Amino acid sequence: MNIERLLQEALGSGQGRRQNPGQGGSTLPGGLAGGAAAGGLVALLLGSKKARKLGGKALTYGGMAAVGGLAYKAWRDWQQNRPSGTEADPLHLPPPPADSGFDMAQERDSAGQDFRLAVLRAMILAAKSDGHIDPEEHGRIRDRIEALGLGAEEKAALFDSFAAPADPAEAARPARTDAQRAELYLASALAVDPDTPDERRYLDDLARHLALPEGLRGHLDLEAEAARRQVGA
């Protein structure tokens, strides 16, 4: 399977680099920001909500790079008993160290697959948890996948993720380390705004299935809220 091609089409990653406003021209990998401009499938899913939510906007802006940075920041705060969610620019945190377990491109899931696939699937399942995707929107997503010219494996992976029910147990299953559990939860928390009963219930169930270390979820939630606050300001 061509993981890079799959992520490029799903997230818009590799579609260029995004200017980081107010930081002297520094840049951030495009991630879902590229997807928003270039028609990334997850950006399409997040943008199909009746009222676009800030969690989806944060993912569109920061992409998978933001997931790793935010999860690692929450993890370190939890370890050192420091407050989370107080940084001025949460969507532009430094990348996690290569040996931290939070460098998703170097990690494998419980089945030995590229861990980024599990993070992508977690985003998609969480984004569907409020039941907002109607048959017409399913059709648009299916048509977009068909038009991408992906290989059979890549296309099947996307069809499977978009067709799967929003099952928190399935989203949690690939995690094999606490770092991966934190990233799966953070990605899911950013794919929604927990402002409906269905979304709150989904995140509660996901945290339970992930068996996050005691206290860590609170730090992850604070980082996700900081990201939503940044894009909503």
| β-bridge mates for residue 108, sequence order | 114
Evaluate if pTM is beyond 0.85. no
List, in sequence order, the alpha helices (H) in the chain. 3-11, 31-38, 41-46, 54-80, 115-127, 135-147, 152-163, 168-172, 178-190, 197-210, 216-232
- pLDDT tens for 34-72 read 333 334 676 666 665 544 566 666 766 667 788 999 999
Q: Exposed, middle or buried, 147 (CB in 10 Å: 0-12/13-18/19+)?
A: exposed
**Reported confidence tier of residue 28, pLDDT bands at 50, 70, 90:** very low
3-state secondary structure of 176: coil
pLDDT given for residue 223 in this prediction: 96
d(CA 182, CA 186): 6
When computed from its CA atoms, the radius of gyration of the chain, rounded to whole angstroms, is 16
Q: Exposed, middle or buried, 58 (CB in 10 Å: 0-12/13-18/19+)?
A: buried
Q: Exposed, middle or buried, 192 (CB in 10 Å: 0-12/13-18/19+)?
A: buried
For 114-144, b where at least 16 C-beta lie within 10 A, e where not — what string?
Answer: bbbbbbbbbbbbbbbbbebbeeeeeeebeeb
d(CA 218, CA 216): 5
User: Higher pLDDT residue, 115 or 29?
Assistant: 115
